[in-house]
A and B are shown apart, each in its own frame.
Chain A
Amino acid sequence: MTVTPLVRVQAEDFDAKAEAERLTGGRKDVGALVSFTGLCRDEAGTLEALELEHYPGMAEAELTRIAQDATARWPLTGLTVIHRYGKIPPGDNIVLVVAASSHRRAAFEAADFLMDYLKTKAPFWKKEHFAETGKTSWVEAKDGDDKDAARWT
């Protein structure tokens, strides 16, 4: 039997530790837990915030479709995907994937697959807001992201 993934799309922050504990608490069959957190980064020191726009309804539906693909493909004991929207300053969390399984390979691969697919298929768009100039700019999709996703086909 495959597990039902937990998928959330929300403006508020998440607690990665609490989400990991949700997949391991009270059970003894979990041998591997992989948690990935994507954060808003500012390498140049010029970013005020990333603004994440999403397609309400489809964002949840698409993340659920991708998560269900992962649970069908790997023997997971639990899977959680949380993606935030709204204005997120550098250093804050954007996305969380937690995959639990009996063995490490399934957990590593499922989390990796989730992130690759999420980046190219989940309807979210990032707009950069720059601190000093007040200018904004849509982040462009990278060819490398499509190549990463194609690794799993």
Chain B
Amino acid sequence: MNIRYFAWVRERVGVEEETIDVPASVATVADLISHLKSLDDNHAAAFEEEDAIRVALDQMHVEPDAILGDASEVAFFPPMTGG
């Protein structure tokens, strides 16, 4: 699964984008966050404040309980501050 990061989430993880083999037990966005947190200290730091993380599946906003299904791209980022 292709994962993209933006703003301070990107800085904490240390990469803009990565491809992750997701275990079969990972069904939702929240499951994926738990899995990513277990990878290393950088991921754990990026997802430390889970309430501050926003998610998009295939470039559409979703909530953490969303099912990953056959989405090809997941993005994690902080609350948006454009405009």
Say how far B8's CB is from chain A's closest CB, in angstroms: 5
With A55-B56, A125-B6, A127-B7 in contact, is A95–B75 under 8 Å at CB?
no
Residue among B56, B75, B79 with the highest chain A CB neighbour number at 10 A: B79
A122 touches B75 (CB 8 A): no
Is A74 an interface position by the 8 A CB rule? Answer: no
Please give, as numbers and ranges, the residues of chain A lying within 8 Å of B61 by CB-CB distance: 62, 121
A55 touches B8 (CB 8 A): no
Main secondary structure of the interface of A (DSSP, over half): mixed
* A121→B60 CA distance, assembly (Å): 10
B83 touches A53 (CB 8 A): no
The count of chain A contact residues (Cβ–Cβ below 8 Å) is 27
* A95→B83 CA distance, assembly (Å): 6
A38 touches B77 (CB 8 A): no
Please give, as numbers and ranges, the residues of chain A lying within 8 Å of B80 by CB-CB distance: 119-125, 141
Please give, as numbers and ranges, the residues of chain A lying within 8 Å of B78 by CB-CB distance: 125, 138, 141
The count of chain B contact residues (Cβ–Cβ below 8 Å) is 16
Is B4 an interface position by the 8 A CB rule? Answer: yes
Chain A residues in the interface with B (C-beta under 8 A): 38, 52-55, 57-58, 61-62, 83, 94-95, 115, 118-127, 138-141
Say how far A84's CB is from chain B's closest CB, in angstroms: 10
* A115→B56 CA distance, assembly (Å): 21
A119 touches B77 (CB 8 A): no
B59 touches A119 (CB 8 A): no
Chain B residue with Cβ nearest A115 = B83
A53 touches B75 (CB 8 A): no
Say how far A41's CB is from chain B's closest CB, in angstroms: 12
- A-facing residues in B21-58 (Cβ within 8 Å): 56
* A45→B81 CA distance, assembly (Å): 21
* A38→B82 CA distance, assembly (Å): 10
B83 touches A38 (CB 8 A): yes
Chain A residue with Cβ nearest B79 = A141
* A23→B83 CA distance, assembly (Å): 21
A125 touches B83 (CB 8 A): no
* A100→B28 CA distance, assembly (Å): 42
* A60→B77 CA distance, assembly (Å): 17
